[in-house]
Chains A and B, each alone.
Chain A
Amino acid sequence: MADRILIIEDDPRLAEMVCDYLGEAGFQVLRAATGATGLAMHEARGVDALILDLMLPDMDGLEVCRRVRARADTPILMLTARGDAMDRVVGLELGADDYLPKPFEPRELLARLRSILRRRKASATSRILRFGRLEVDLDAREARLDGEACALTGHQFTLLVALAERAGRVLSREVLMDLMKGEAPEAFDRSIDVHISRIRSVIEDDAKKPRRIITVRGAGYVFAKAQD
């Protein structure tokens, strides 16, 4: 059965487009234009996930989030305006599962929505690192792009995790080699660079112009913090 999504968004045209887009992707979508209607629909109809706008005409999106959390653990994806760093922190503290700044990349909305649905079904303690449309699932030892699993060897996945856990820092080849010690001897028969280019070929949109794993000439590699 298709997952049922409730979108609480006061802009009717955006709500309709999200409806159409998610409908195409196979979801069943309900719409509410105010916080109060949304809360009532959530209670009456039972939904699998909520897409919640931060600014609503009758109440703050954070307030809606708090009230939903008070009685159910429905996954919540919040829509904010880019740069509301504080709203993000507060939203996540109040129990939102993820947040997405407007204007969002539609494919990213889909990926995140699938991610929060999957997480809710899996264990509550699953550890997932997320970078835009890319997910690094530490428990499943799997990397996913747009929700699709990427083909990586165990060793390459370990290298990706070593990079992703230190996103935003320049890591030299020596440091990466150290981090890979204790891994299969495979680590030593091929150079780090070869593994990196293999990982790139599966997680980058264009491996010739990498945006996720970037080479810093003479210094090493950086796993980008802000992707997509």
Chain B
Amino acid sequence: MPRLFLKIYLTILASLALLVVIVGVFWHFSSDDGMHHPAVGLVVQLAAAALPPAAAPVADQEQALEELSHHLRADLALYGSRNEFVAAAGHPLPAPPASSNSGDWIGDRHGPAFVFDLPDGRRLVARAPHNTHPPWSLFGFHLLVAAIAVGVAAFPVARGMTRRLEALQTAVETLGAGDLSARVSVSGKDEVASLASSFNRAAARIEELVAAHKTLLANTSHELRTPLARIRLGIELAKQTLDPKRKAELERDIAELDQMIDEILTASRLDTVKDLGPKEEIDLLALAAEEASRFDNCNVGGISAFVQGDPRLLRRMIRNLLENASRHGAPPIDIEIATNGGKVALSITDHGPGIPEAERERVFEPFYRVPGRSAAAGSGLGLSLVRQIARRHGGDAVVSSTADARAQIVVTLPSASGT
């Protein structure tokens, strides 16, 4: 059951319970004060008139009390002016404490009884007819029934209120998970309804922006590469007048610029696009060997291990690892592919100074450079892309430590065979 609903409903129930307790306590203490009412004077006068004087024999008094009890259908007891028992009729009643005043309630567990002081000093104790339950417990019972009725009636109200919030929550989660077309139906005119329509507006705006961003990315990629293609052609056309060494350098510069554009666009694409397109089964050892062939003094070893993934992104990941090792580390670079219980691990080790313990997480942040190292070329996205790509494929990338404190990065990916 949803927590918000429980909270609201339990709050209602707790308020009801508190109300019952407070009302009960007030009732209890206010009724303890007794019956301070003009009616007390009347009862006293009537009783004084109906009873024989105090000097009359006890039998007469008993007789009169019997008659009075019979007419009133009440239990009665008469006490002398020194609070001594004189006579009683009906069920037994508690003796009045000497300190009690006229109109006080002195009820026991059988029910309430009241003390009345007669003008001649005698005291009369009376209990209302057929009222064996204390009045506060009856009142409490009614209070409880009312509280339960309110509590039951509040259930569908609270449920209805939170159901709309739940629908909103589901929509927010769907949006967060990347389905930008998620919307909620708006019903009513309260705050929840206005929140729902705000959400719809925000979601529509996000959808528009992301669509615009995607178009921009595609255009940028094209716009930036057209001049690069021009430069590349220009070099080719100028080959008669160009020194081969200079030409090779220019070609390398273009490749580097092209790569940086690719990295920046890939990073944006990974941030905004949920579905990366078709996946293929890829031999990681073959891919690593292919990429390593672009670098000098780089050894690839291990076993053929297959992963499911986007070939372009995985190629970019391995290339970035190699470039990172050759820029910031020292040759030779070793790549090792191993499998370990449903996972494929690619570890790349170089003979450079290693990565200080404190920097091991930070190297995966975009544009981060290890302090004190030269600002080598690159977009600064290299390792951050490595981790992003690994995570997109259900794996991760971490800096690990080798026995001889060399720089080692390990990428783990789920194996395609699952074993």
Contacts and interface: CB of A to CB of B under 8 A. Distances in A.
Interface of A: 11, 13-14, 17-18, 20-21, 24, 54-55, 79-86, 101-107, 168-170, 209-211, 214-219, 222, 224-226
B250 to A, nearest CB: 12
B181 interface: no
Nearest to B296: A209
Given A83-B266, A219-B304, A102 B226 contact: yes
B290 A17 contact: no
B218 A84 contact: yes
Could you say which of A24, A104, A107 has the most chain B C-beta atoms within 10 Å of its C-beta?
A: A104
Given A14-B229, A55-B219, A218-B301, A21 B237 contact: yes
14 contacts: A11-B230, A14-B227, A14-B230, A20-B237, A81-B222, A81-B225, A82-B221, A102-B229, A103-B228, A103-B232, A104-B229, A168-B283, A219-B302, A222-B283
Contact of A216 (B222, B231, B258, B300): B300
B236 interface: yes
B330 interface: no
Contacts of A103: 225, 228-229, 231-232, 254, 258
Contacts of B311: 168, 225
Given A81-B221, A83-B266, A169-B283, A21 B226 contact: no
Nearest to A89: B278
A124 B148 CA distance: 84
Interchain residue pairs A-B with the least CB separation, the first 5 = A103-B228, A102-B225, A81-B221, A103-B229, A106-B236
B293 A14 contact: no
Q: DSSP class of B's interface residues: helix, strand, loop or mixed? A: helix
Given A85-B312, A86-B277, A216 B225 contact: no
B312 A83 contact: yes
Contacts, number: 111
Contacts of B266: 83
Interface residues of B, number: 42
Contacts of B221: 81-84
A214 B229 CA distance: 28
B233 A224 contact: no
B323 interface: no
A226 B313 CA distance: 13
A83 B293 CA distance: 22
Nearest to B299: A217
Contacts of B219: 55
B303 A219 contact: yes
Interface in B344-381: none
B287 interface: yes
Contacts of A107: 236
Given A17-B234, A104-B229, A225-B311, A55 B283 contact: no
Interface in B256-302: 258, 262, 265-266, 277-278, 282-283, 285-287, 289-290, 292-294, 299-302
Contact of B286 (A24, A84, A168): A168
Contacts of A82: 221, 225, 258, 262
Given A17-B234, A211-B293, A225-B311, A170 B286 contact: yes
Interface of B: 218-219, 221-222, 225-234, 236-237, 254, 258, 262, 265-266, 277-278, 282-283, 285-287, 289-290, 292-294, 299-304, 311-312, 315
Which residue among A55, A85, A103, A210 has the maximum number of chain B CB atoms within 10 Å of its CB? A103
Contacts of B292: 214
A131 to B, nearest CB: 11
B289 A21 contact: no
A210 B278 CA distance: 29
Q: Which of B219, B262, B289, B290 has the most CB of A within 10 A?
A: B290
Contacts of B282: 168
A13 B222 CA distance: 15
B230 A217 contact: no
Given A55-B222, A168-B286, A216-B286, A106 B232 contact: yes
A211 B258 CA distance: 20
A224 B283 CA distance: 11
A222 B315 contact: no
Nearest to A217: B301
A212 to B, nearest CB: 9
By CB atoms of chain A within 10 A, which of B237, B254, B266 has the most? B237
Nearest to A227: B290
Given A18-B233, A82-B258, A217-B299, A225 B290 contact: yes
Contact of B233 (A14, A86, A216, A222): A14
Given A55-B219, A81-B222, A83-B312, A106 B233 contact: yes
Contacts of B254: 103
A16 to B, nearest CB: 9
Given A168-B282, A219-B303, A219-B304, 9 more contacts: A81-B222, A83-B312, A103-B231, A169-B304, A214-B293, A216-B286, A216-B301, A219-B285, A226-B315
A101 B286 CA distance: 23
Contacts of A83: 221, 262, 265-266, 312
B245 to A, nearest CB: 15
Contact of A11 (B226, B237, B278, B286): B226
A166 to B, nearest CB: 9
B34 to A, nearest CB: 90
